[in-house]
Amino acid sequence: MSKRFTGDGEQRERGKKIEDLLNETLQNRGQPLDRYEITAILEAKGWNDNRAAEEYGAENVFSLASELWELAHKGVVAGSFQKGERLSPLLYLLMVGRSFLRGTVFAFPMAISIFSMLILEYSLWSYEYLSLELATGIAIGTVMSFMVAGGFMQAIARRGFFYIGQSYYNMARKITFKFIKAGFVICLAISAVFMVFNLFFGVFPSRVSNIVLLYFFFLSAIWLSVTVMYVLKKELVFSLLLVAGIGFVFVFFGLLEMNIIFAQAIALSVVSLMSIILSVYFFSAAEKKMERGIVPALPRTSITIYTTLPYFSYGILYFTFLFLDRIVAWSTNNMYMPYIIWFRGTYELGLDLALFALILPMGFVEVVVSELTINLEAYQREFMSRDTHLLSRLYLKLYYKRMVLVVLISIASALLIYWGVGYLGNFLIFAEKFKLINVGKIRMVFIVALLAYAVLSVALMNALILFVVSQPEMALRSIGPALLGNFIVGFALSRWFDYYFAVFGLLAGAIIFLAFSTKYVRKVLGKLDYYLYAAS
């Protein structure tokens, strides 16, 4: 029940605010099913009982939703049929350029690290001439950091983009740092469990376990902060931070001849700290541009967990998928194996060079998904409600065309990297490193990884489309079988033949990921009106 308002002026002002809130709540939504649906929409937008009471004098969010429900029932909202306005050629080119750069810039840290290894023989977290024992510790810490931080990265991106899209930068900051805090707590807990487990069972000596935890903790901090930069569209800033970190390693290790582990530890701590400081600064600057008013509170923690859990789970499974073949290869006991996991540098070389093939396709994937999303509202306006099947048919055709484009670009990118590695091998600076690529089994890893990443590019386009229409469960049901296929094929072949054959697990998993994600995207686009309604 609402509080009593005195005066006609206040009543009229409140009535106008209620109408505006109804239009904002039901924007692109149509007629709600019931008052509970309106309550859910309000809570998802950050409304709580205190805010409902302060702004509208309502007893709680449900009371406010009931009032909106009654107002909505005074008449069914019907949108007018009109020709949708799509982007002009100039705006379309600008959109393509921005989206392409955004897609490729996100891969810059990976490219910078690999280039640094090729030229300087070290990066922020690796060194070519480390002992295999220390390299094993760094590799385990790196993989753990991606697998643990991956879920938080997806959760930060999902909720951060959600609030920033509504210009609620204060809420985006609160939820982002809430996830970062939770991420650090989980990292500390896992570190403690790892230490206790290793103390009792002696899996690794202390000199290796300390390296694992050092790189695990600092790299986790860096991955969490780079996600904040991505959400705030400051990816280039992080790339510059990474370059600065490699510069620190160059000074401490290359010039001052400090131990490489100590030099990297200093650089990692500085980069992670600067990333957090810059994230706070960028959020603060964005909040200053916001319109002043009542600061909404975050939804209940239970609601936040429920809405982000599918994205969190996908992040963990996706990064596990990316590194699973490495874990399978490193754990193959067919040669000298002092520990249960032993780093295989030649296997890693083929995979790292093949990773460059992802950069170009990911830029085009970002363009394709942005184009499909931006033009969706315009296309919706061109079809009557009885013709929704025509909209689905149109989008299926667009999807198939864009899919063919991404496939061709992925193949071209793989061929370009294959040719580029062969060409650069002619130069003295790269000759010694790249000559290994021509060795039979390493060459096989390189070629199969190129194919796997080409297939993965198309599967990631599908996953991104599923995220756009708020169907993370379908993305989960795609990556799950892919992870299982990756493990079964890679484990069997590596144990039957040699650890190099673990790469076929990556390829098999990518194909399964593509098959399942394509199936679900076709399902969504086949009933586009239904899934758009559900997503809104």
CA-CA-CA-CA torsion sign (413, 415, 417, 419): negative
Q: How confident is the model at residue 3 (pLDDT cuts 50, 70, 90)?
A: very low
Express each pLDDT in 103-118 by its tens digit: 666 667 777 887 788 7
What is the pLDDT, as a whole number, of residue 92?
Answer: 58
Express each pLDDT in 7-35 by its tens digit: 555 666 666 677 777 777 666 455 555 66
Q: How far apart are CA 24 and CA 42, in angstroms?
A: 10
Mean pLDDT across 172-180: 88
Which long-range contacts link 127-136 to residues 24+ away (Cβ below 8 Å)? Answer: 127/260, 127/264, 130/260, 132/342, 132/343, 132/345, 133/207, 133/208, 133/338, 134/208, 134/211, 134/261, 135/343, 135/345, 136/208, 136/330, 136/339, 136/341, 136/342, 136/343
Ranges 80-84, 85-89, 507-511, most confident: 507-511
Percent of the chain with pLDDT over 70: 79
DSSP assignment letter at 254: I
pLDDT at 1 over 50: no
Listed range (102-111, 281-290, 378-387) with the worst mean pLDDT: 378-387
In the numeric block, the tokens 């086949």 are attached to 526
Q: How confident is the model at residue 435 (pLDDT cuts 50, 70, 90)?
A: low
pTM for the predicted model, two decimal places = 0.79
DSSP assignment letter at 167: T
What is the pLDDT, as a whole number, of residue 438?
Answer: 64
Mean of pLDDT over the chain: 81
CB 62 within 8 A of CB 70: no
Percent of the chain with pLDDT over 90: 29
What is the pLDDT, as a whole number, of residue 34?
Answer: 60
Q: Please name which of 268, 432, 244, 437 lies closest in space to residue 356, comparing C-alpha atoms.
A: 437
In the numeric block, the tokens 């239009």 are attached to 23
Q: How confident is the model at residue 511 (pLDDT cuts 50, 70, 90)?
A: very high
What is the pLDDT, as a whole number, of residue 31?
Answer: 55
Q: Is 127 or 185 the better-scoring residue by pLDDT?
A: 185
CB 206 within 8 A of CB 214: no
CB 225 within 8 A of CB 157: no
Q: Which residues 6+ apart lie within 8 Å of 397 measured at CB?
A: none
Phi/psi for 285 (5° steps) reads: -65, -40
In a 13 Å sphere around the CA of 294, the CA atoms on its Cβ side amount to 13
Q: Is 279 or 326 the better-scoring residue by pLDDT?
A: 326
Q: How far apart are CA 374 and CA 365, in angstroms?
A: 14
Express each pLDDT in 190-230 by its tens digit: 999 999 999 888 888 988 999 999 999 988 988 888 888 88
Mean pLDDT across 152-174: 83
What is the pLDDT, as a whole number, of residue 86?
Answer: 56
What is the pLDDT, as a whole number, of residue 78?
Answer: 41
pLDDT at 306 over 70: yes
pLDDT at 88 over 90: no
What is the pLDDT, as a whole number, of residue 79?
Answer: 43
Angle at which helices 440-468 and 345-355 pack, to 10 degrees? Answer: 50
Q: How confident is the model at residue 292 (pLDDT cuts 50, 70, 90)?
A: low
Ranges 109-118, 286-295, 350-359, most confident: 350-359
Does residue 122 sit in helix, strand or coil? strand
pLDDT at 519 over 80: yes
Mean pLDDT across 131-137: 88
Express each pLDDT in 39-78 by its tens digit: 767 776 767 777 777 777 777 777 777 777 777 655 444 4
Residue 450 identity? L
pLDDT at 80 over 50: no
Q: Please name which of 304, 216, 329 lies closest in space to residue 265, comparing C-alpha atoms.
A: 216
Q: How far is CA 330 from CA 191, 251, 339, 448, 515, in A?
A: 21, 32, 10, 18, 28
Q: Which residues 6+ apart lie within 8 Å of 160 measured at CB?
A: 172, 175, 176, 227, 228, 231, 232
Q: How far is CA 503 from CA 132, 266, 339, 348, in A?
A: 21, 34, 21, 10
What is the pLDDT, as a whole number, of residue 81?
Answer: 44
Phi/psi for 122 (5° steps) reads: -155, 160
SS3 content of the chain, % helix, strand, coil (to 5): 80, 0, 20
Residue 428 identity? L
pLDDT at 315 over 50: yes
